Chains A and B, each alone.
Chain A
Amino acid sequence: MEQAAEIPTKKTPYRDRLIELAIAVLLICFAAGVIYVAQGYSDNGMSTDVGPARFPTVYGLVLIALSIALIVQNVTALNRGDVDREAPPISTHRVFLITTGIVLTFAQYWSMPYLGYLTSMFLYLCLLAALMGLRHVLLNPLISAVFTGLIYFCFYTLLNVPLPVGELFE
């Protein structure tokens, strides 16, 4: 288990240290919420059982302890100046691409019950490929149609997975 002893030689950017602190705080809130909700679970009446709340509570407490350890680790690093303050800024274009891609994927998920698999997946693949740079007038819809059809054939025809037809087309 020597590998765990590996210490990163590259300094963590200042921005990332702050984000890690935010993640730790968020997880503490999440774990506290888990413990709070779990306290409302009634025992199952068996004197020999620990009940449904015990395990989530223990997990929540350990997660809080670990999050505090991460906060201490980051605050110590910040105080020691063990951060990279000259890291390049986040590329806004990259953030835009990733965010739009994620939004498109969620849009496909939400639209599939209404538009059906074939329409929603074809549109999604066209838009995502265009977002990533494949904007050829013929290639883009052609590749999207081929992938949509291939997946449909594999899952619907060969494996009998009933892919949604869509409320609009039912």
Chain B
Amino acid sequence: MEQLTMLLSGFATLFQDPWTLILAVFGVAVGIVIGALPGLTATMGVAIILPFTFGMAAVPGLTMICGVYFGGVYAGAVTAILLRIPGTPAAAATAIDGYELTKKGEGGKALGVATFSSFTGGFISILMLVFLSPILASFALKFSAAETFALAVFGLSIIASISGSNPIKGLMAGFLGLIIATIGLDPMGGFPRFTWGIPDLMQVPFIPVMIGLFAASEAFKTIGESDIAAKTAVALKNIIPTRETFRHIAGTVLRSTFLGAFIGCVPGAGADIAAFVAYNEAKRFSKHPENFGKGEVLAVAACESGANGCTGGAMLPMLTLGVPGDAVTAVMLGALTIQGMQPGPLLFRDHADKVFTLFAGMLFCYVIMLAMGLGSLRFIGKLLQMPKSVLTPLILALSIVGSYAINNNTFDIGIMLVSGVIGYVMQKYDFPPSPVVLALIMGPMAESNFRRALTMTGGSYDFLWTRPITVGFLLLAAASLLLPVVRYLLARRRSRAAAA
């Protein structure tokens, strides 16, 4: 109850300061633009906006940063759904089914569901941040390297279920991604692997790979299609979901929100991981999992609520214990410190009024995001009514400049283009690109935490079977990995028997 009183007091303070409200609106708008532009992530948006907050008071500055963060995480889904360009890594999972819905002429429905799911996921996760922060943060903090390794393995096991019709091809794509993820500095000793003396390969950025696999490959494919007749006349109808749609997605949204908030609490696991895990869980719980990958609205709802649910979760350990949950919260931690609010347990004692006003500001940002998101969807949707001879060059130009903008380095464009060609070949011969992206995110996390855990146990592999959470995650991973393969083999045997 005390938290509720403090939150209401925070709202009262917030609404007495129009400047904070204006900055929140501005932050969300900037976040939506940045999130929708391929290659620009919420992390980059927060980093770009950070210097502008130095001269501001703590609450307005931090509220604006939160607006950029929330808007950025949400807007990645807009281009993922309309153009199959994930604006942010988290939107890669949304692109799988979102774009299929657009191809079916249900882009408006997908965007509406994504917007409401993002809002619900984010809003609830902030409420959880307010009310459950001590409990969740203390549980997530029990995770040592062994548990984080097991979590990463669980994340990697999802590859099997996002592999489409042939799990072998999906797993091949996943392991190709895992090999690519080892390029660069070895996480323990700093030994350069597969770099061939090229400094740019010391740390391969995975966003250009993602842009190449998802955006450039699709654009290359489109170049070969007939032009003017192939106008992508997708009208964005039914953006506001119907009551039936709300009822249909409600359970998935709530489950994915809690899942996202939980994953967000785990240091190192961000919105991208939350989106993929939420996708997998929605598929497992679905009565029609065969529709996933072919334009299932539940998949879009799960990914978006999971990714946005992560935002509140990621801030839990950062605010209460000073441990950032992901890259964005790491930047935010710096912003809080600059503002004289040292994150940690003392923050709630020394600056409780500011913290709860900030919480109120975060909730306000989500309401603004919902309004702005729904308001701007039709405008962004106009992009699809352009002829392909206009749209495809624009997609490629955005992919090129977006890849360059990450590090201001033309080498990243090369990575994107090579990935684009590989992605095109993969797409043509039915190798799914999503496992590559998942492997790029999870691979380094799995390796570094496995080796760290091994060092902590003096070289003993005991941690794999003596720690209950680790064992739990590994068992879940085994089930998640093997079940689709077993089902595939059984179904193949059945179809052969039927044919005979």
Contacts and interface: CB of A to CB of B under 8 A. Distances in A.
Q: Does chain A bind chain B?
A: yes
Interface in A47-84: 47-52, 55-56, 59-60, 62-63, 66-67, 69-70, 73
A145 interface: no
B186 A125 contact: no
Given A55-B182, A159-B40, A164-B410, A132 B397 contact: no
B487 interface: yes
B394 A147 contact: yes
A5 B69 CA distance: 38
A151 interface: yes
User: Size class of B's contact patch?
Assistant: 35 or more
Interface string B151-179: 00000000011010111110110011011
B193 interface: yes
A163 B393 contact: no
Nearest to A125: B393
A4 B179 contact: no
Contact of B408 (A5, A143, A161): A161
Contacts of A108: 400
B367 to A, nearest CB: 25
B223 A131 contact: yes
A88 interface: no
Contact of A151 (B169, B172, B401, B417): B401
Given A49-B455, A151-B401, A7 B394 contact: no
A123 to B, nearest CB: 11
A49 B448 CA distance: 11
A134 interface: yes
A31 B171 CA distance: 14
Interface residues of A, number: 76
A66 B172 contact: yes
Contacts of B475: none
B491 A6 contact: yes
B484 A1 contact: yes
Contact of B228 (A42, A62, A133): A133
B165 A41 contact: no
Interface in B414-445: 414, 417, 420-421, 424-425, 429, 431
Contacts of A105: 216, 220, 396, 400, 417, 420
Given A3-B293, A109-B417, A147 B224 contact: no
Q: Lowest 8 A-B CB distances belong to which pairs? A: A4-B484, A133-B227, A44-B189, A101-B223, A132-B389, A48-B459, A5-B487, A52-B186
